[in-house]
Amino acid sequence: MERIIEISLHKLSIPLIEPFITSLGRDDDAKNVVVRIKTESGLIGFGECSPYMPINGESQDTCYSVGQLLAKALLQQDALAIKGINDRMDSIIYANDSIKSAFDMACYDIAAQAAGQPLYAFLGEKKNKTIITDYTVSIGDPDQMAADAVKILERGFPYIKVKLGKHGPTDVIRMTKIREAIGPNIPLRIDANQGWSVDEAIETLQALAPLDIEHCEEPIARWNYLELPRVRQASPIPIMADECLGDEHDAARLIALNACDYMNIKLGKSGGIFHALEIVRLAEQAGIKLQVGAMIESRLAMTAFAHFALCSDQIVHFDFDTALMLREDPVEGGIIYKPGGVIEVPDTQGLGAKISEDWLLKSESCRFMA
């Protein structure tokens, strides 16, 4: 047993190098929340979430507020009893999956440390594949997007992801200019972030067919998922569910509907690793390939995502670029971004990453003790 004796919450705010723009809005800063949990034996686990109001209905302030309710309820609990931790959080408040994921992550960090293993090994896996992240082009002027794609190509990233979803015909122009600028060889992936109507999605995806696009994330509104099978059937480009996939219950519905070719797991949508593992189990049974994605987390949460991404052969795509978009790096240890988008996962016990003491001390924070 690893009895929880102390929990602190920290607001982590970091400006971006450049604005990150999607069909859902513009971000100039990462406004995240870090959870630090300490157990009676002295183990310390870290978790982080990056809430995004248009997707999970949470903000830094709501996470910080709800996190205090969760912290009070989790004191004296066994950090190793992760199902019990998740059940307790779910009994306290519905949804709020972003902040729950930070607590879940910190408990997995502690559990892996207690087992004397790196997190990926604690999850039962080995380093049996190479994790290579894509890099994302924000939506905007077609010529500027093409220029941005060329910069990504010159930086050596082998996959380029493009944000679309603002007027289908213009999106076709955007993608045509990008393909012309970068040439025929580098794979392109697109993400409409729910920006198209059903008919617009079908027309746009069919028009994009000649551009050799690997897949399209969330072409239509998340609430309209019953129409996703029709989009998939008409699309020459494979469809990836993102915003309409939260937890394992969403995954089961999408699988039953035969709605998508891929699913994109984000721990901030699933509520953490515990529920995300259930999505993986369902995807393995259904033969559906997976991507692990991110919001705008630092390398702390990104390290957890990379550990998790090693847990199944069904996970074949990795969208871990946003930590590279931050002006400052508050993390000690953690993943290393290597040339060509390759990510090196640490072999230290637990998560292998933490927020530096300087950042913790200067952040707005609160602490609860047993």
Residue with tokens 């702390």, as numbered in its chain: 300
Q: Do 125 and 109 share a structural domain?
A: no
Q: Catalytic residue at 163?
A: yes
Q: Do 132 and 89 share a structural domain?
A: no
Q: Do 131 and 109 share a structural domain?
A: no
pTM: 0.98
CATH code of 109's domain:
3.30.390.10
Mean pLDDT by 10 residues, the chain (370 residues): 98 96 94 98 98 96 98 98 98 98 99 98 94 98 98 97 98 98 97 98 98 98 98 98 98 98 98 98 98 98 98 98 98 98 98 97 97
Q: What is the pLDDT of residue 330?
A: 98
Q: Catalytic residue at 358?
A: no
User: Which residue out of 2, 191, 227, 243 is catalytically annotated?
Assistant: 191
User: Which residue out of 200, 217, 218, 297 is catalytically annotated?
Assistant: 217
pLDDT tens, position by position, 11-66: 999 999 999 999 999 999 999 999 999 999 999 999 999 999 999 999 999 999 99
Neighbouring residues of 38: CB distance < 8 A, sequence distance ≥ 6: 4, 5, 6, 7, 44
Q: Do 299 and 267 share a structural domain?
A: yes
User: Which residue out of 163, 177, 269, 354 is catalytically annotated?
Assistant: 163
Give the residue from 66, 82, 116 where a domain finishes.
116
pLDDT tens, position by position, 273-318: 999 999 999 999 999 999 999 999 999 999 999 999 999 999 999 9
- Is residue 40 domain-resident? yes
Q: Do 101 and 175 share a structural domain?
A: no
- Is residue 362 domain-resident? no
- Is residue 205 domain-resident? yes
Q: Do 157 and 233 share a structural domain?
A: yes
- Is residue 178 domain-resident? yes
Neighbouring residues of 106: CB distance < 8 A, sequence distance ≥ 6: 35, 36, 37, 45, 46, 47, 79
- Is residue 36 domain-resident? yes
Question: Where in the sequence is the domain holding 195, given as residue range(s)?
Answer: 121-353
User: Which residue out of 266, 269, 297, 321 is catalytically annotated?
Assistant: 266
Q: Catalytic residue at 248?
A: no
Q: Catalytic residue at 180?
A: no
Q: Do 104 and 126 share a structural domain?
A: no
Q: Do 218 and 109 share a structural domain?
A: no
Alpha carbons 133 and 155: distance in angstroms, whole number: 13
Q: What are phi and psi of 20, to 5 degrees?
A: -110, 115
Give the DSSP per-residue string, 312-337: -TTEEEE---GGGGBS---EEE--EE
Q: Do 143 and 51 share a structural domain?
A: no
Kindly report the average pLDDT of the chain as a whole number.
Answer: 98
Q: Catalytic residue at 217?
A: yes
Alpha carbons 222 and 246: distance in angstroms, whole number: 10
Q: Do 158 and 217 share a structural domain?
A: yes
Number of domains in the chain: 2
